[in-house]
Structure formats: C-alpha cells, structure tokens
C-alpha cells in the first residue's frame, strides 16, 4: 500500500523523465535515419534533400506521438498526458541545439531557440492535438476522422518544417532570424493554447 | 443576454481561465529558468580553475536547454476537469453547470435563464481566472528566492575570483598573481622549472627587468581559456585573441613563478637587448604575436602597444638582433634603439652604379696633384 502511494506520487516525475528520455532517443533515431538516407538524398536537389530530412524528422515525431497516445489510452491516463510529447520535443531540441553549438560555437546558436525549437515543439503540440482523445463526453472523434486529422497534421508540420529549413538554407536574408522567431513563436503559442483548451476545457466547449 | 451570447460568455470565461493557467506556468518557467541559470553560473564560478569547470559548450548548452524548456512548461498535461472547475469557481450555485449538462427538455428555458444570470454576475468587472493553490504559488516564489540568492552568491564569488560581474560564461579579467603553490606544469616538468629558476638567479636584475612577467601559472590559465570558443568574434583575426592562436606554437615559454623577476626571455613584444644573454641572435623574424594585451573582450587592444611591437619587429628584422626594450622603456633606451636601427639601415645601403667620367677625371687629377697615398679603389672611387 505504501509502495503504491509512493509510486503514484512519483508517477508524474517518472513520466517527465521518460518523456525526456524518449526525446533523446528520438534525436538519435533521427540522426541514424538521416544518415542512412544521405546516400539517396545527396543526389537530389538541395531543397529536396532538406524536405526529405524534415520528413524523416516529422515522421519519427509523429510515430512517437502515436505511441504516446496509445499508451495514454491503454494506461487510462488523463487525455492531456499526450502533451508530454512536447516535453520530448524540447529534449530533442536541446540535444540538437547542443550539437549545433559544438559545430558552430557562436552566439548565433541562440537564435535556434526562437527559430528551430518552436518548430519541433509546435509539431509535437499539433500531433498531440491530432492523436489524443478529446476530453469531451463523446470520448473522441471517429477513427476515420482522426486518421484524416493525423494525416493533415503531418502534412502541415512537414510543410512548415521544410519551408523554414529551405528558406534558412537557400534563401536567407538578414531579418530571417527575427522574422522566423516571431512567426514560429506565434504559431507555437496558438498550438499550445489549443492543446490546453482541447484537453483541459473541451468538456465546456463540447456541451454547448 | 441571448443563448448564443451565453455560450460565448462561458467560452470566454474558460479561455480566460486557460490564459491564467498559462500565465502561471510561464511564471513558473521563468522562476525555474532563473534559479537554474543562477545555480549554473554559481557552479561555474565556484569550479573556476578546477578540472570540473564546465566548458563553454556545456555551459551554453545547459543555458539553452533551460531557456528552451518553456514549451514543455506551457504544454504540460492539462487535466480534464479544468473547464468545469473554472465554471464552478465562477458560479457557486452551479447554475451554469446545470445548463451545460442539460441536454434538452422541459427545464431548458429555466436553466438557461438562471445560467444567463449567473454568467452576468460572474463576468461583472471582467472574467477572472481561478487562483492557483497556495502551495504552488509558494513553490514558485521559492524558485525566485533561490534564483535571487544564487545570483547574489554568484556575483560575490565572481568578483572575488576576479571575473567581475558574470552574466554568462565566467571569464577572469584579472590575471591571478603568482602564488607559492606549485602548478601542474611545475610538477610535471621539475627540471625545466629548476633550470629557469637557476637562469633567472644568474641574470642581473637590471637586465631589462622593467616588466614583471606573468607566471607560467597565469599562462596555463590563459591557455585553458584560449580553447574556449569565442562566441562573439569567432571570425575576428586579432592576434593573440581567440581560439585561432590556441594551436599556434609559442615562441618560448614564459618563466615560472620563481623566475618571474628574471628577464631576457622572449615573450610578446619583449625581447632582450643586444643579445647579451645569448638568445637574441636569432634570425630576426617576428618575435611573437605583438600588439595586444589580455584576451577576449575584457581588454581593448592598445594602438600604442601595437605601434611599439611593430617597431620592435622591424628593428629585429633590420638588425638581425632581437632586443627587449621592455614595455616601459626609458627615453635613453628608445633613443639608442632607434639610433641602432637607422645606423644599421644606413650601413646596409650600398651606393653603386656607373662612375661619372667627369668625377673620375677629377679624381685622377687629384691623385696626380697630391701624390700616390690615396689609391683609388677597384671601382675608381677615391
């Protein structure tokens, strides 16, 4: 009984640690997949290679989000627990930032906090919205509708991620870091607010 | 208030509550980030000059991870009950909740009217978000307190250790004075240290000893910092600054702490006069990276020092002798050095070319007139 209570009390912390570890594993898996894909994409135009790499990252992130949603449903957790995917994205972003910092040790790496990290976190929030069950009375949308929503979320996240990568690599301009930061932070704020409302307040929205 | 407006008012109520929760989470993130940043700074300053001192890469990666945790704080799992909790907090008599939960029927109008009244009362003066628990607010306040205490302790330790105010990776602005404790280099190469000490003891103190040279201990500290990436001016090629010089071979080693008062050992812009110590008769190349003292952004370069260093280099190239006029040479020393520079330049000027026939004739006439004691040389010059 006492052990159960200790486990219940420490469960949130354990989930946070597990999500952070999942983000680190996702980062490593991304590097492996992109390395395996390199011989193929290096023959393609640069924009196609950038889009392919973004596609790999988004596909793996979506896979993690779906696994997380499945775990939440099976474990009977609050539907909002799919928001842990954002925490995993932050962990991934921190590792990616560190790797960039090691390769390009300048203060410009801090721009990644506004330009790159919100792309990861925003995509994770979008997948969390799409893959989880809502907090409404109906217990979630129909499977067909959910699949369409997941596909749409993947397409949006891939296009968004690819667009920012391509612009940064092929069409940079001096104001790009500021513009990208503002646009990405606005998008991330909207997605986080939508995530909170969907899993915290949807019962009120669904009632009327 | 109509039904559509009532539904909109309820949604505005819960959106306001959601924003209140996000504001509180943002405040919690800010307190956590502040405390973590202050403690990271404090540990870096406390571990200064130790093997456990984090590298700039680790320090900045940690700071970036701390800042980048904001989305995780904001998107931390929400509870399903937040919406109804917000409604209950605004309506103690559950009129709104009863209306929300009623799915059509004869009591629809009655519940609706009561809900509208309750919403009207709840939104007088604007919607308000539910207050967070006192324990959560105390915890966030404690985070800020830890951050403030950590920041204050960091600055005290940083100023005490010669780094000044540290807001980023701690850098020592003041070269530490040599102490009697042996450094790692001293322990690793005792024979070199003894030889340098003996050499310094044998050397007369007036031999260019105007400048107390920094200890090897200070140089070792500088070497460690040179390995740091220059986050501001990585592409800046200022000599003696940044990582670009880290791998370059030093012309010579500076003397040890016991030999700090000695002189004649070459270092940046300071070489011994006249080669009297047997070291200054080199090829006359560039003595060392001249022109700048200190490192990083702590000390701005001095054009006067740069000018003197250039002069010394040209002097060494012209005369083939490396000299040290010291960082603060006397007027006599500078005068002698300049005289030597230009006299040696004159000595190397060779006047050649064809001899004027008229002058040659005059010379021959002069020889005939005044005797054979003044023999012309091979070029016909008198």
ipTM (interface predicted TM):
0.91
Q: What is the pLDDT of residue B273?
A: 34
The larger pLDDT score, comparing residue A160 to residue B301, is at A160
Q: In chain A, which residue's Cα lies nearest the Cα of B168?
A: A107
Helix (H, G, I), strand (E, B) or coil at B267: strand
Interface test with A, best of B65, B68, B232 (most A CBs within 10 A): B68
Distance from CA of A206 to the nearest CA of B (A): 9
Q: Is B296 left (phi over 0), alpha (psi -120 to 50) or beta?
A: left
Q: What is the pLDDT of residue B363?
A: 78
| Lowest-confidence region among B268-272, B319-323, B378-382 | B268-272
Structure tokens at A95: 């590792």
Answer yes or no: is B64 within a domain: yes
Predicted model pTM: 0.64
**One domain, residues B272 and B378:** no
The HSE-up count of residue A24 (CA atoms within 13 Å, CB side) is 8
**One domain, residues B297 and B368:** no
**One domain, residues B281 and B361:** no
| Residue labelled with tokens 């979008």 | A126
**One domain, residues B133 and B271:** no
Answer yes or no: is B179 within a domain: no
Answer yes or no: is B225 within a domain: no
Q: What percent of chain A has pLDDT over 90?
A: 74
Structure tokens at B37: 């940043």
Phi, then psi, of B47 in degrees rounded to 5:
-95, 10
Q: What is the pLDDT of residue A67?
A: 95
* CA-closest candidate to residue A164, choices A150, A184, A178, A189: A184
Q: What is the pLDDT of residue B309?
A: 74
The larger pLDDT score, comparing residue B197 to residue A144, is at A144
Structure tokens at B228: 């740091």
**One domain, residues B377 and B297:** no
B61 close to A98: Cβ distance less than 8 angstroms: yes
Task: Count the helices and strands in chain A (H runs, E runs).
Answer: 8, 0
Q: How many residues does chain B have?
A: 382
Query: C-alpha distances in angstroms, A176 versus A110, A183, B225, B344?
Result: 14, 10, 32, 59
Q: What is the pLDDT of residue B276?
A: 38
Query: C-alpha distances in angstroms, B84 versus A132, A202, B98?
Result: 20, 10, 11
Answer yes or no: is B221 within a domain: no
B94 touches A: beta carbon within 8 Å: no
Tell me which residue in A83, A113, A200 faces B64 most closely, judged by beta carbons.
A113
* Mean pLDDT value of segment A13-23: 95
**One domain, residues B380 and B332:** no
pLDDT digits (tens, 9 = 90+) for A163-192: 999 999 999 999 999 999 999 999 999 999
Torsion of CA B129, B134, B137, B139, to 10 degrees: -150
Contacts of B76 in chain A (CB under 8 A): 83-84, 87
A113 close to A154: Cβ distance less than 8 angstroms: no
**How many of the other CB atoms lie within 10 Å of CB of B367?**
15
Answer yes or no: is B236 within a domain: no
Q: What is the pLDDT of residue B3?
A: 59
Contacts of residue B181, defined as CB under 8 A and 6 or more positions apart, other chains included, come to none
How many CB pairs (< 8 A) connect A and B? 138
**One domain, residues B302 and B377:** no
Angle at which helix B82-90 crosses helix B108-122, to 10 degrees, equals 80
Tell me which residue in A113, A201, A205 faces B68 most closely, judged by beta carbons.
A113
**One domain, residues B147 and B17:** yes
Helix (H, G, I), strand (E, B) or coil at B270: strand
DSSP assignment letter at A79 = G
Answer yes or no: is B96 within a domain: yes
Q: What is the pLDDT of residue A177?
A: 92
Burial group, residue B176, by CB count within 10 angstroms (0-12, 13-18, 19+)? middle
Q: How far is the C-alpha of A55 from the C-alpha of A165, rounded, in Å?
A: 11
**One domain, residues B265 and B312:** yes
* Mean pLDDT value of segment A62-73: 95
Q: What is the pLDDT of residue B6?
A: 73
Q: What is the pLDDT of residue B25?
A: 95
B168 touches A: beta carbon within 8 Å: no
CB distance B68–A201 less than 8 Å?
Answer: no
Residue B184 in this model has a pLDDT that exceeds 90? no
Alpha helices in B206-330 (DSSP H): 216-226, 303-319
What's the structural domain count of chain B? Answer: 3
Helix (H, G, I), strand (E, B) or coil at B114: helix
Q: In chain A, which residue's Cα lies nearest the Cα of B22?
A: A193
CB distance A94–B64 less than 8 Å?
Answer: yes
Structure tokens at B310: 């250039």
**One domain, residues B262 and B154:** no
| Lowest-confidence region among A34-38, B31-35, B169-173, B278-282 | B278-282
Structure tokens at B155: 């600055």
Answer yes or no: is B166 within a domain: no
Beta bridge partners of B270: B267
DSSP assignment letter at A133 = P
Q: HEC states along B38-68?
A: HHHHHHHHHCCCCCCCCCHHHHHHHHHHHHC
> Chain-centre distance of CA B98, in angstroms?
64
Confidence band (pLDDT; 50, 70, 90) for B121? confident
Residue B57 in this model has a pLDDT that exceeds 70? yes
**One domain, residues B300 and B364:** no
DSSP string, B194-250: HHHHHHHHHS-TTSSTTSPPPPHHHHHHHHHHHTS--SS-TT---TT-SGGGTTSPP
Answer yes or no: is B327 within a domain: yes
**One domain, residues B294 and B363:** no
Q: How far is the C-alpha of B171 from the C-alpha of B298, rounded, in Å?
A: 8
- Which structural domain, as residue segments, surrounds residue B382? 352-382
Q: How far is the C-alpha of B294 from the C-alpha of B300, rounded, in Å?
A: 8
B241 close to B296: Cβ distance less than 8 angstroms: yes
């Amino acid at each position: 009984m006492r052990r159960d209570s200790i486990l219940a009390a420490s469960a949130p912390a354990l989930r946070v640690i597990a999500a952070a570890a999942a983000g680190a594993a996702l980062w490593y898996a991304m590097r492996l997949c992109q390395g395996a894909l390199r011989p193929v994409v290096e023959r393609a135009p640069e924009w196609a290679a950038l889009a392919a790499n973004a596609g790999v990252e988004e596909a793996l992130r979506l896979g993690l989000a779906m696994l997380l949603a499945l775990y939440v449903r099976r474990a009977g957790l609050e539907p909002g627990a799919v928001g842990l995917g954002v925490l995993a994205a932050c962990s991934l972003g921190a590792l990616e930032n560190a790797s960039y910092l090691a390769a390009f040790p300048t203060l410009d790496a801090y721009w990644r906090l506004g330009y790159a990290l919100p792309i990861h976190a925003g995509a994770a929030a979008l997948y969390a919205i799409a893959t989880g069950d809502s907090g409404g009375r109906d217990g979630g949308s129909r499977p067909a509708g959910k699949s369409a929503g997941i596909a749409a979320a993947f397409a949006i996240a891939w296009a968004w991620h690819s667009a920012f990568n391509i612009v940064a690599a092929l069409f940079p301009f001096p104001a790009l870091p500021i513009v990208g930061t503002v646009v990405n932070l606005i998008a991330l704020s909207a997605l986080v607010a939508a995530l909170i409302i969907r899993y915290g307040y949807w019962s009120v929205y669904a009632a009327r | 208030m109509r039904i559509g407006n009532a539904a909109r008012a309820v949604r505005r109520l819960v959106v306001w509550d959601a924003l209140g929760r996000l504001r509180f989470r943002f405040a919690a993130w800010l307190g956590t980030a502040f405390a973590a940043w202050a403690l990271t700074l404090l540990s870096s300053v406390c571990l200064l000059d130790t093997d456990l001192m984090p590298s700039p890469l680790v320090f900045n990666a940690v700071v970036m991870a701390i800042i980048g945790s904001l989305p995780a704080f904001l998107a931390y799992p929400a509870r399903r009950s937040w919406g109804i909790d917000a409604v209950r907090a605004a309506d103690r008599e559950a009129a709104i909740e009863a209306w929300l939960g009623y799915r059509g029927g004869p009591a629809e109008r009655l519940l609706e009217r009561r809900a509208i009244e309750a919403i009207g009362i709840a939104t007088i003066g604007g919607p308000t978000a539910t207050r967070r628990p006192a324990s959560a607010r105390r915890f966030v306040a404690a985070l800020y307190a830890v951050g403030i205490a950590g920041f204050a302790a960091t600055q005290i330790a940083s100023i005490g250790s010669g780094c000044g105010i540290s807001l980023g990776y701690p850098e020592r602005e003041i070269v530490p004075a040599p102490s009697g404790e042996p450094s790692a280099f001293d322990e690793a190469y005792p024979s070199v240290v003894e030889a340098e000490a003996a050499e310094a003891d044998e050397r007369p103190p007036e031999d260019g000893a105007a400048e107390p040279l920094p200890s090897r201990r200070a140089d070792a500290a500088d070497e460690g910092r040179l390995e740091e990436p220059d986050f501001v001016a990585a592409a800046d090629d200022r000599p003696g600054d940044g990582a670009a010089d880290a791998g370059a071979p030093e012309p010579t080693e500076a003397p040890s702490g016991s030999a700090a008062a000695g002189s004649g050992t070459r270092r940046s812009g300071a070489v011994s006069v006249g080669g009297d110590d047997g070291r200054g008769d080199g090829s006359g190349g560039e003595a060392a990276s001249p022109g700048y003292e200190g490192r990083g952004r702590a000390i701005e370069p001095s054009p006067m020092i740069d000018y003197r260093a250039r002069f010394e280099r040209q002097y060494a190239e012209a005369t083939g002798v490396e000299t040290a006029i010291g960082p603060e040479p006397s007027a006599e020393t500078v005068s002698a050095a300049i005289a030597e520079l230009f006299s040696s330049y004159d000595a190397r000027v060779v006047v050649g070319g064809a001899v004027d026939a008229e002058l040659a004739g005059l010379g021959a006439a002069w020889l005939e007139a005044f005797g054979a004691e003044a023999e012309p040389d091979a070029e016909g010059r008198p």
